[in-house]
Amino acid sequence: MMWLVILAAAAGTLALRLSFLVAGRHLKLPAWTTRITDLVFPVAIAALLGATLRGVATGGLGDFVALLAGMVVTGLIARRGRSILLAMGAGLATVFVTGLIAVAFAAGTP
């Protein structure tokens, strides 16, 4: 029963976080807001990365490399694909896989 509650909370959190990205695609704003909204995503991503870097500073080199790889992949896909949802998904997957490799590598070294 406890796992069901945890999974429901995780699903709700994920839905809440992704809702603004999905709904933002269908939102029509006045033309004058284009200059301002072009800066929202880069500033938001920079704030998230800055907060994460503060936590990574105490986590070790593996965490830093995983975050850096995720940041590079996110930036490249966002620049080429023009889809922030795809870019963030690919960046998160890169951080996850690189973090797993770092943990496996650290466990294998004495």
Residue 75 has pLDDT above 70, yes or no: yes
DSSP string for residues in 11-80: HHHHHHHHHHHHHHTT----GGGHHHHTTHHHHHHHHHHHHHHHHHTTT-HHHHHHHHHHHHHHHHHHHH
What are the residues whose beta carbons fall under 8 Å from the beta carbon of 69, sequence distance 6 or more? 94, 95, 98
If one counts every other C-beta atom within 10 angstroms of the C-beta of residue 59, the result is 15
Averaged over 38-52, what is the pLDDT? 68
Does the reported pTM lie above 0.85?
Answer: no
